[in-house]
Structure 1
């Protein structure tokens, strides 16, 4: 083997750099979510309790009893 034909190990291991770009929504969605949650947290005086329909409450109570094993 001649020394001129062999390449250093570092040159073989080097790979071309990939340029990956994120879509616009990959940054926009977390920013919008954080802003919305921050708004909710900073203004709790305007928050009201949500009322669930009576049928939904009964269903959720039944599911809770089933999960606890006390059906």
Structure 2
């Protein structure tokens, strides 16, 4: 006894691709890019690790950037 095979109905072709990204899929890479860009804007601040703690320097830099 043979079994019937059901063919899949063909979907109507669409004119364009409908892809929806969540807001953070664009916001997070943009934020990372801007953050890295701000870090390299002033190369005179780039120096070898000295006596000051890194975390303190990072917070001071963030405070300076937010004060602008």
> TM-score, with normalisation over the residues of structure 1?
0.39
The higher-RCO structure (CA 8 Å, 6+ apart) is: 1
> TM-score, with normalisation over the residues of structure 2?
0.41
